[in-house]
Amino acid sequence: MGLRVIVLRHGSTRWNVEQRYQGCVDTCLSDEGRAQAGAAAKALADRQLAAVYASPLARAQETARAIAACHGLPVLTAPAFREICLGLWEGLTIAEVQAQFPELYAAWRERPHTVTMPNGESLAAVRERILEGLGQLRSAHATDTVCLVSHGVTIRLLILEAFGLLPERLWSIYVDAAAISELEYRDGSATVHRMNVQSHLDGLAGGL
């Protein structure tokens, strides 16, 4: 067995429900998001985790704390796995972005790998830091199982990389709030064991 990474998107926030771009804005979980985090923690309670990592953003940290508490572990902050910086889009709704940046929004939906957000990041830059972070995890936990709480774009890129697909396929994958995916890394290979699992959220409304 190699490194297993159980990766979750953070629980829902009020901005998710409002369809408002968060990026690197430090939003917190909603009541619904906290319930989702608790459900995810319960679903992972019987896994043997060597560590719990999270993006530095509050919504990821809070989700990770619920999971870590079940294992008596601290939450280790992993800056490489924070969300893409969306620059001027942050705080705007999808409708507002469509109105203010129509050409850029169309490119983001059709050719996301060609876009560098105004005052923000490109997918290439995010991918580079994610791969650096993944390398650090593999060095520290070569045969361990760890949990990583991160964000929609970040997790999409991780999964695409495991499948050997390029960032231009970003929208081929959807990652729901508090959904669980599981990746394994051995030598130079990666295996996707499960993706966007939501059965633990039955009875809870989902976030964007």
In whole angstroms, what is the distance from residue 92 CA to residue 20 CA?
5
One DSSP character per residue, 141-192 reads: -TT-EEEEEE-HHHHHHHHHHHHT--GGGGGG----TT-EEEEEEETTEEEE
Instruction: List the Cα angle 168/153/90 in 5-degree steps.
Output: 110
Q: Is 141 a catalytic residue?
A: no
Q: Are 193 and 182 in contact (CB under 8 A)?
A: yes
Tokens of 65: 């704390």
In whole angstroms, what is the distance from residue 153 CA to residue 208 CA?
12
Give the closest residue to 94 by CA, choosing from 105, 83, 104.
105
Q: Is 10 a catalytic residue?
A: yes
- Spot the catalytic one: 18, 32, 62, 83: 83
In whole angstroms, what is the distance from residue 79 CA to residue 85 CA?
12
Instruction: Supply the residues annotated as catalytic.
Output: 10, 83
